[in-house]
Structure formats: C-alpha cells, structure tokens
Structure 1
C-alpha cells in the first residue's frame, strides 16, 4: 500500500462559520450524527444527480446525432 492509501487523515473543506452553524442545526434536526455526515450525504446525492443529468444529456446528443430524435 502507498502512503496515501494508509493515511488516517481525510481531506478537509473550509466553509464559512455561519454556514457551518446553519448546517449543524439542520443536521441535528434531520437526525444525522454529525454535520460531517450530513454534508457528505448532501454532496454524494448532488454529485449523483449531476452525473445522471450529464449522462442523460450525452445520450440525447448521441441519439440526435444518429437521427433518432430531433
């Protein structure tokens, strides 16, 4: 294993304190164990939605190029 694969440190993202405080409240209300868990869930969901939209656009473009749709 490489050093990166065995590292115990995770990447960190800086956000404004006011936003962090809002996210902390929202995460607690939604039942998440931490703001980190909540943010990770939101980012994973958003990334999946963006990937799906991008894939659908690529399929439409290919189908249009093949003359299946206008």
Structure 2
C-alpha cells in the first residue's frame, strides 16, 4: 500500500511533528499540504518511512478512497 493522504502519513508516523522531523520541514509546511498528497510529497513520506523502518506498519493503514 502507498500513503495517499495526510491522515495516513500521520497515522504511520504518529504525529505531524514526527513527519516534520523526518522530512526536515516545519509543521507549518505540513499544514499546507492538501489532504490527498501529490506524488512528490507521497514519495518523500514513503522514503522517510522506509528509512525509519515504518513500512511494515503501512499494511495496517486503511486504504484511501479515490474520488
């Protein structure tokens, strides 16, 4: 499964602060992300999750619905 939404990213990392730290950005930058993440952001989140060994937890996240 791929991270598709900001909510899924938060569920994987635990907090927006953790995402910000992993991506070396501010929480304010994350607050500007759309709920459905563009590919460039999804790729960065997935890479950061991979580096932190979080990818095994992805299968437990709910699938996002395509609109």
Q: TM-score, normalised by structure 2?
A: 0.22
- Which one has the largest radius of gyration? 1
Q: TM-score, normalised by structure 1?
A: 0.22
